[in-house]
Structure 1
Amino acid sequence: MNHSIPSIPGMSTDVIPRSGETRGLTTRSGETRGLAQAGGAMFLVGTLAGVAGAIQDYPLYGGQALRYLLAAAVLLAVTRLAGLRFVRLTPRETALLVALSLTGLVIFNICVIEATRHGGPALVGTVLGTVPLALALLDGRPSPRVIGAAAVVVAGATVATGLGSGDLTGLLWSLGALVCEVCFSLLALPLLPKLGAVRVSAYSAALAVPLLMAAGLLIDGTAMVRVPTLGEAAGLGYQSIIVTTVAFFLWYNALPRLGPGRAGLFAGLIPVGAIATGAVLGLGAPSAADLAGAALVVTGIVIGLSAPAPSRVTGS
């Protein structure tokens, strides 16, 4: 029986095989859209660095709880407007969703916060630059070309970010952030065929709110939330709408189309997004190392995408 698929602007419905199509095969147009979505998602995540200064004095855990609260509200409203009905999850799927929210959102933010305090953003950015290589190695049987391309992307991200300085504690927190970033993709893959990108994004963001509030109460007490200044409100709003709502949706739409190995190559655009944002906001012109790193990242992505694309089971 065919069911009509609700559609809203910017939402893809070609991830669902239609009558007469071979299930599990990604169409050429779907893959092209996946490439654009993966690149856009990781670039937007990179712009986060440009607004970090606006919220650096706001309580960190309370601020992140507010960020995900607003994002969840927007995403849940989108699910309602799109006519996406509630889907009953199995115990295993519920556990996966909770694990996704706990690791990919809550613990990831805690690791990044603590790593930045001990080692600075350069150390965190360098370690997170290895995400493409980690996802390529974990993607079943990645081709040598994809692995080589991931290594080029990692090199470019390292050059663009700079190794910086930090202690062992900062390095361990950064490695924790890397593991959580990988979990953000791999734990979502089994959920996407049943829930789709919007619901996975909405449910994981909603689950992160009470978890972050609990962490905030333990660390900051009642001072975890206060009325933000105009600049802080703008920064938190940007994180909620652009970096969370839009980027999550784009990434989770692209992931089943491309697979973690090929999609992970675009994580190298995170420092590129940071460089571009800094230039636009007048925070400093990119250095020769920044430009060289960006060129390496683009080269690595092109090499990786030239590898034959495996057939993928796409989400609904």
Structure 2
Amino acid sequence: MTVGVLGVLIVGASVPVTGMLDAYPVITGQALRYALAGVLLLAWARLRGQPMPLPGRRDWPALIALAATGMIGFQACLLFAQRYAEPGLVAAFLGGTPLVLALAGPLAKGKRPSWAPVAGAVLAGLGIAVLSGGGAARWQGLVLAALAMVCEALFTLLVIGVLERLGPLATATWSCCAAGVGGAAVGTVADPSGAWAWPDGRELIALGYLTVVVTAIAFLLWYSAVSVLGADRAGVLVGLMPVSGLAVSLLLGMQDFRFSQLIGVALVSSGVVIGLRRKRDELGALDVEVLDDVAADDRDHDRAQRPGEGDLLDELRPAVDRGQAQREIHGAERNRLADGDLAVLDERRDRERLGDP
């Protein structure tokens, strides 16, 4: 959970930095940011000696769709929406993203939505609406704001299967590479003359920060959180983005404090707490993975301690089933077993009876 919170706080706090790129070409600027982030993640994996699995045929369609919608498409919709709607209304629309993830995340895996993420998402969405303050819009702005919300949800929904197959690092890396290549191609075709303008000092600082912190680091943290919490529970953390942006704006003197902001922060915080709750008898994806890992570790430990013996079922086969004399185990100090344990007898002869080499 901590990595997810840190990831969304980083993204939320980057809003003032994003404004430094208002005059820079949108699509190619994003393409440059994503391409450089992909290179950094590849270098990080190489430096740590961590394997980087290549996407398979099942993964590339999702990664390309993610680059087109959740990455390049989201930024484009967000920018154009603010030409027809006030920023507060666009932000209020984005407050619906946690609810979309709470409902669609489990459905994408063939499960029913849980009450805790849904209830938490509703509270977080209300808190975002209070923090944004709403605003006026033309119909074009409403459509683009809704599309931005869908694109933001697709940033998580499209990689659910990819995360399970590749892991967070490879998912973040290849999605950035796909967005970098695709954005560069689209931006060049759309504006051949001005697509690759050289950034000035202010824009270069903004691009560097967005590349390293907001993309490479934050994407890795977010996908790590999604792989652990699931898309529905991780979705409620999206509500922390405007809270982080508000805190930075207040610290920099870019926004005045209002009492309604406390109400919005309280709603978002309550939504996050409720949305991350689990039932005691509910085994989520993380619980199952932990149990599987423990079982695998136990088997490996048993084999390491007794390298000449086989699996646990072979080791604990009752002696009477093999027609052999049972060893005296209860009187010997070194071979004392608890009640109900079975003696481990001649494993080699047992394997010969089973036909194992």
The normalised TM-score by structure 1 is: 0.83
Mean CA deviation greater in 55-64 or 114-123: 114-123
Which fold has the larger relative contact order, with Cα–Cα distance below 8 Å and residues 6 or more apart in sequence? Answer: 1
What's the CA shift string for 1:179-204, capped at 9, x where partnerless? 11111111111111232211111111
Q: How big is the shift at 1:247?
A: 0.9
Residue type at the aligned position of 2:101: L
Residue type at the aligned position of 1:146: P
Residue 97 of structure 2: aligned partner: 131
Shift in alpha-carbon separation, 1:310–1:110, aligned structure 2, 3 A: farther
What is the aligned counterpart of 1:65 among 31, 36, 44? Answer: 31
Residue 312 (1) aligns with residue 285 (2): yes
Residue type at the aligned position of 2:140: T
Residue 203 of structure 2: aligned partner: 232
Conservation of the 8 A alpha-carbon contact between 2:92 and 2:129: yes
Mean CA deviation greater in 275-284 or 88-97: 88-97
In 2, Cα distance between the equivalents of 1:173 and 1:284?
Answer: 25
Residue type at the aligned position of 1:127: F
In 2, Cα distance between the equivalents of 1:268 and 1:276?
Answer: 13
In 2, Cα distance between the equivalents of 1:171 and 1:210?
Answer: 30
- For 1:201-240, what aligned pairs fall within 5 Å after superposition? 201-240=172-211
Shift in alpha-carbon separation, 1:245–1:173, aligned structure 2, 3 A: same
What is the aligned counterpart of 2:257 among 279, 282, 286? Answer: 286
Q: How big is the shift at 1:45?
A: 1.4
Residue 8 of structure 1: aligned partner: none
Residue type at the aligned position of 1:175: A
User: Helix, strand or coil for the counterpart of 1:92?
Assistant: coil
Q: How big is the shift at 1:143?
A: 2.3
Conservation of the 8 A alpha-carbon contact between 1:101 and 1:208: yes
Conservation of the 8 A alpha-carbon contact between 2:35 and 2:181: no
User: Helix, strand or coil for the counterpart of 1:89?
Assistant: coil
In 2, Cα distance between the equivalents of 1:288 and 1:165?
Answer: 22
What's the CA shift string for 1:234-271, capped at 9, x where partnerless? 11111111111111000110102111111100000111
Q: How big is the shift at 1:145?
A: 3.0
The normalised TM-score by structure 2 is: 0.74
Residue 177 of structure 1: aligned partner: 148
Q: How big is the shift at 1:310?
A: 4.0
Mean CA deviation greater in 136-145 or 233-242: 136-145
In 2, Cα distance between the equivalents of 1:311 and 1:47?
Answer: 31
In 2, Cα distance between the equivalents of 1:53 and 1:259?
Answer: 31
Residue type at the aligned position of 2:219: F
Residue 13 of structure 1: aligned partner: none
Q: How big is the shift at 1:133?
A: 0.7
Q: How big is the shift at 1:88?
A: 4.1
Residue 304 of structure 2: aligned partner: none
What's the CA shift string for 1:34-75, capped at 9, x where partnerless? x11111111111122121321111121221122112211211
Q: How big is the shift at 1:142?
A: 2.2
User: Helix, strand or coil for the counterpart of 1:90?
Assistant: coil
What's the CA shift string for 1:163-217, capped at 9, x where partnerless? 1221111111111111111111111111112322111111111111122123322
Larger radius of gyration: 2
Conservation of the 8 A alpha-carbon contact between 2:94 and 2:148: yes
Mean CA deviation greater in 153-162 or 232-241: 232-241
Identity rate, percent: 35
Residue 107 (1) aligns with residue 73 (2): yes
Q: Structure 1: which 5+ runs fail to align?
A: 1-34
Mean CA deviation greater in 43-52 or 197-206: 43-52
In 1, Cα distance between the equivalents of 2:175 and 2:114?
Answer: 31
Residue 48 (1) aligns with residue 21 (2): no
CA RMSD of aligned residues (A): 2.0
In 2, Cα distance between the equivalents of 1:151 and 1:310?
Answer: 24
Residue 301 (1) aligns with residue 272 (2): yes
What is the aligned counterpart of 1:263 among 203, 216, 234? Answer: 234
In 2, Cα distance between the equivalents of 1:227 and 1:146?
Answer: 44
Conservation of the 8 A alpha-carbon contact between 1:54 and 1:235: yes
Conservation of the 8 A alpha-carbon contact between 1:143 and 1:307: no
Residue type at the aligned position of 1:100: L
Q: Structure 2: which 5+ runs fail to align?
A: 294-357
What is the aligned counterpart of 1:196 among 167, 170, 181? Answer: 167
In 2, Cα distance between the equivalents of 1:70 and 1:202?
Answer: 10
Conservation of the 8 A alpha-carbon contact between 1:43 and 1:270: yes
